[in-house]
Amino acid sequence: MAGAFRFMTSLACARIARTSLLCRWHSRSDMTPTFARRSVATLLAGLLTWSANAQAPADILVRGPDVMLTRADWEAEISRIPAEQRVAFATSPQRVQTTLIGMLVGRTLAQRARSQALDKDPLVQRRITLEVDRLLSGLMLERIEAEAGAEFDRAKDRNVARARELYVVDRAKYTVPEVIDVSHILFDTEKMGKEAALAAAKDTRAKLLAGGDFPALAAALSDDPSAARNKGRLDWNPRGKYEPAFETAAFALKNTGDISEPVLTRYGYHLIKLEGRKSAHPQSFEEVREAIVADLRQKYVTAARESAIAAIRTDTRLEVNQEAVDALVVKVDIPPLPANTPATVAPATAPQSK
């Protein structure tokens, strides 16, 4: 009973309101707060009664007055999550409980819809069919991709040979770029004014060249909001990660410990210190083989998927009732404005109060 009580108390309104179904309930104009609280209270009371008075079979997870959820329902629900993410998803008791209550609410509403014959409406039946079609089409594409991936994997020697060809003809592509590790101190020109910011940057550079501590001065003086946390350290980055002027100055520094002259960017003036440099270097085929093969596999799978879709779109047996298709387009006639109608503009000045 203690376990059931912990489960049910964890499904309080604050958590339930986070599920998509109940969020939609709360957004409806006819769903008052009182009604919402009573609905949740009734649901919890019913489940607590069942927990106290009945022994549930092992595969029944939750039972309400009208419906129940089984382990098989749970497995079907989480099958929508990518396989590699399911274990991580299920490690959170909150996610599990929130998902279960959302499933219970959805199934209960669906059962009530059936009891009121909503599923017998011809339009609703069409919509149900379309939803089933969407699910099955997605599953079919997943199967096509899985089969293509398996087919690719069976040709291991061919794949490695192709990966080696790509490596040999474009070694530059597999070169690790030059990276630098820098720190900076920012003097915000909008905050201080351009001249004052430049003067402050020059004064601080003089202190640094005289032996001042860069991290301490960065934490005390920098207008970069992150400086209090990182003491101005930006860590390792290649070209293309910084503002052009900043990048040019940073990569121009020659020796570890060098400090730039003030560098102007749209953020203000920077002092840049070179903390370290790693030169560009080529990677061996063994270092990049798995990445190249993975890229080839993804392209193979994508091609199989696109081929299957294209075959349907370009099937010569398709017959299109163009007249009926054209009739689906809603035509709206917008009358032209009279030739001398002036454009509506805001008044140049506010009306004077009388």
Q: Helix, strand, coil shares of the chain as percentages rounded to 5?
A: 60, 10, 30
At residue 22, the pLDDT reads 33
**Residue whose structure tokens are 């990660």:** 241
At residue 344, the pLDDT reads 52
| Bridge partners, residue 259, by sequence | 273
Whether the Cβ atoms of residue 218 and residue 183 lie closer than 8 Å to each other: yes
Low-confidence ranges of the chain (pLDDT < 70): 1-56, 341-354
Please name which of 68, 18, 11, 6 lies closest in space to residue 41, comparing C-alpha atoms.
11
Whether the Cβ atoms of residue 174 and residue 291 lie closer than 8 Å to each other: no
At residue 6, the pLDDT reads 41
At residue 339, the pLDDT reads 74
Side chain identity at residue 304, one-letter code? A
**Residue whose structure tokens are 């946390």:** 229
Angstrom CA distances, 162 to 50, 167, 269, 271, 302, stand at 62, 9, 50, 48, 18
At residue 96, the pLDDT reads 94
At residue 36, the pLDDT reads 41
> Cα–Cα distance between 330 and 191 in angstroms, integer?
55
At residue 43, the pLDDT reads 46
> Cα–Cα distance between 340 and 2 in angstroms, integer?
80
Digit-coded pLDDT (tens) for 235-247 = 999 999 999 999 9
At residue 29, the pLDDT reads 36
At residue 343, the pLDDT reads 55
At 234, list the tokens: 């930006």
> Cα–Cα distance between 9 and 97 in angstroms, integer?
10
**Residue whose structure tokens are 């014959």:** 117
- Domains in the chain: boundaries: 2-120, 121-171+284-313, 178-279
Angstrom CA distances, 88 to 18, 69, 95, 101, 122, stand at 20, 22, 10, 19, 41
CATH fold of the domain at 178-279: Chitinase A; domain 3 (3.10.50)
Sequence-separated (6 or more) residues with CB below 8 Å from residue 300: 148, 149, 151, 152
Please name which of 43, 91, 92 lies closest in space to residue 69, comparing C-alpha atoms.
43
> Cα–Cα distance between 119 and 127 in angstroms, integer?
10
Start-end of H helices in 222-321: 227-230, 244-252, 285-313
Q: Has this prediction a pTM greater than 0.75?
A: no
Please name which of 184, 196, 264, 195 lies closest in space to residue 231, comparing C-alpha atoms.
184
Side chain identity at residue 24, one-letter code? R
| Bridge partners, residue 187, by sequence | 269
At 266, list the tokens: 């749209």
> Cα–Cα distance between 35 and 232 in angstroms, integer?
54
Burial per residue of 278-310, b for 16 or more beta-carbon CB atoms within 10 angstroms, e otherwise: eeeeeeebeebbeebbeebeeebbeebeeeeee
Beta strands in the chain (DSSP E): 60-63, 68-70, 175-176, 179-187, 233-238, 263-265, 268-278, 281-282
